[in-house]
Structure 1
Amino acid sequence: MPDMTRPVALVTGGGTGVGRACVLQLADQGYDVVVNYSRSQDDAEATAKEASAKGVTAITVQCDVADDVCVRAMMDQIKTQFGRLDVVINNAAMTHFVPHDDLEGLTEPMWDRMLGVNLKGPFFVTRAAADMLRQGNGGSVVNVSSVAALTGMGSSIGYCAAKGGLNTMTKSFARILAPEVRVNSVCPGPIDSRWIRDGNPDWDLNEMVTNYPIPKASQPSDIADAVLFFAVHSQMATGQILSVDGGQTL
């Protein structure tokens, strides 16, 4: 049984990469954790098991965040099992790797899916979580965005646009959920994870970052450090967009 006095965090896309790193760091901070996944069940269960070994309760919940009905059912499950929700990390994301000059290659179904997961998903999750977040002692939402939202460069035009919308939505939610809930966004640059390695094996991470002031790709834990800063450690920051990119956007 979960300890009802412990804070609870939901991490969407929590089984791998940045999501996994966030789950483990939240567990280190004493949070019970809900590890959401869409397809990566084995990864999510392995992450939850590792978090549980730290002395907290960690569960997995399958849910496509682009499906509002599914999101609301997930939130009902969290309320039934834990009775509270203190932190939401909107980390679930997807992309299609389409060269920006290949305008015809970016199809309407690609647009729909990227907007569904990367933009509508965080809206659905935050909306469904709002009441529980307001009831605590200072709720927090952190959206994992991308420097693609700032530069317009990335895996596809659709991905850049969706993440740009996420940054704008971060500011909107920060206003309407204040003062009970803080809402911030972290914008990673290139991350050494299977997101890029599997998504587009032709991309050379070392080449991508060679001219950055800090010429190396981030590790998932580097991004989780920034997420945890907003989620747990900073009580006065809201509506902020923080780049964690080795200086790419200088």
Structure 2
Amino acid sequence: MNSSNRPIALVTGAATGVGKACAIQFAKLGYGVIVNYSRSEAEAKQTAKEIESLNIPLMLCQADVSDEKQVLSMLNQIENEHGRLDCLVNNAATTEFIEHANLEAMNEDAWDRILGVNLKGPWFVTRAAAKLLADGEGGSVVNVSSVAGFTGAGSCIAYCASKGGLNTMTKSLARALGPKIRVNAVCPGPIDSRWIREGNPNWDLDEMVANYPIPQPSQPDDIADAVLFFATGTKLTTGQLLAVDGGQMLT
């Protein structure tokens, strides 16, 4: 087992979007970064290239977070290579863009996949990482959730349900893992990213946010700012859900 004084952060779904922004922000703070991805290998390698340009050690780990065996293998790799883990960002997620009223289109396969990645995934990764996170001075878990978990409005019913469950699980894990490990969640509103623009090209982001108090979609770095705050900028905050939504929930 290799030990190091450099803190280590694991970001799931770090190939693109919010996950990539988080990974790069951790690297700029001097953290060694584990870039997890499932299918986006080319994009993950590009993220790795940008981190390497900062002269920061990193590890690329391909693992589907909804598969517990793959998660356990990933955490074993991290322990063997680094011997520590200081921050975990559960960012990996998936969805389908299905009208809520179209109940038949929300089939069992789609339901199981969305809840498998978005809800079971953070559970599997957090449970597997808990021992490493608790070692030393303790660690931090930040779940990337969504305001859909509050409002019930989002890309599909299963997505909203998965994020509502993740919000509740954040609080449960904060109780279970304290005081050594803090657990919080960032809940974005609409993000100007490939997730929406390619997932449903018919959605007009500018129109979506037009009546918000801050009438603009967030950028991935806006969400990463909040993630890094929970991970590194506070010592007494746990079990909290922070909406970064331009005031969406006020409307």
Same fold (TM over 0.5): yes
C-alpha distance in 2, partners of 1:190/1:45? 26
Greater shift, 45-54 or 231-240, is seen at 45-54
TM-score, length basis structure 1: 0.98
Which segments of 5 or more consecutive residues in structure 2 lack a partner in the other structure?
A: none
Superimposed CA distance per residue, residues 158-193 of structure 1 (whole angstroms, 9 cap, x where no aligned partner) = 000000000000001101110000000000000000
How many angstroms apart in 1 are the aligned matches of 2:52 and 2:80?
19
CA distance in 1, matches of 2:51, 2:140: 20
Aligned pair 1:221/2:221, yes or no? Answer: yes
> How far apart are residue 51 of structure 1 and its match?
1.0
How many Å apart are 1:3 and its aligned residue?
A: 7.2
Question: After the TM superposition, which residues 160-199 of structure 1 pair with which residues of structure 2 at under 5 Å, given as runs?
Answer: 160-199=160-199
Report if aligned partners of 2:63, 2:74 keep a CA contact under 8 Å in 1.
yes
Structure-1 separation of matches of 2:116 and 2:185: 18
CA distance in 2, matches of 1:235, 1:32: 20
**Aligned-partner SS, 1:55:** coil
Partners of 2:172 and 2:150 in 1: CA distance: 17
Q: Could you say what secondary structure the match of 2:23 adopts? A: helix
> Quick one: distance in 2 between partners of 1:52 and 1:59?
10
Contact 2:3/2:84 (CA < 8 Å) preserved in 1?
no
**Alignment partner, residue 40 of structure 1:** 40
Q: In the alignment, is the contact (CA less than 8 A) between 1:197 and 1:203 conserved in 2? A: yes
Structure 2 contact 188–244 (Cα < 8 Å) conserved: yes
Where do residues 55-94 of structure 1 align in structure 2 (5 Å cutoff)? 55-94=55-94
Instruction: Measure the CA separation in 2 of the matches of 1:17 and 1:58.
Output: 18
> CA offsets, 1:34-89, max 9 Å, x none?
00000001111111121122121012100000000000000000001101000000
Partner of 2:98: 98
Counterpart-to-counterpart distance in 2, 1:138 and 1:231: 11
Matched, 1:206 2:206: yes
Aligned-residue RMSD, C-alpha: 0.9
How far apart in 2 are the matches of 1:99 and 1:186?
A: 25
The TM-score normalised by the length of structure 2 is: 0.98
Distance in 2 separating the partners of 1:33 and 1:80 = 15
User: Is contact 1:85–1:136 with CA below 8 Å preserved after alignment?
Assistant: no
Structure 1 Cα separation of the partners of residues 48 and 5 of structure 2: 20
8 Å contact from structure 1 (residues 49, 58) kept in 2: no
3-state SS of paired residue (1:89): strand
Residue in 2 aligned with 1:6? Answer: 6
- The runs of 5 or more residues in structure 1 that have no matched partner are none
Give the aligned partner of residue 29 of structure 2: 29
Residues paired across the two proteins, number: 249
1:6-25 Cα distance to aligned partner (Å, 9 max, x none): 00000000010000000000
Preserved CA contact (<8 Å) 1:173 1:183: yes
> Per-residue displacement from partner, 1:193-226 (whole Å, max 9, x unpaired)?
0000110000000000000000000000000000
Pair 1:15-2:15 in alignment: yes
Secondary structure, in 3 states, of the residue corresponding to 1:182? strand
Aligned to 1:158: 158
Q: What SS does the corresponding residue of 1:249 show, helix, strand or coil?
A: helix
The match for 2:240 is 240
Aligned residue for 1:142? 142
Secondary structure of 2:43's counterpart equals: helix
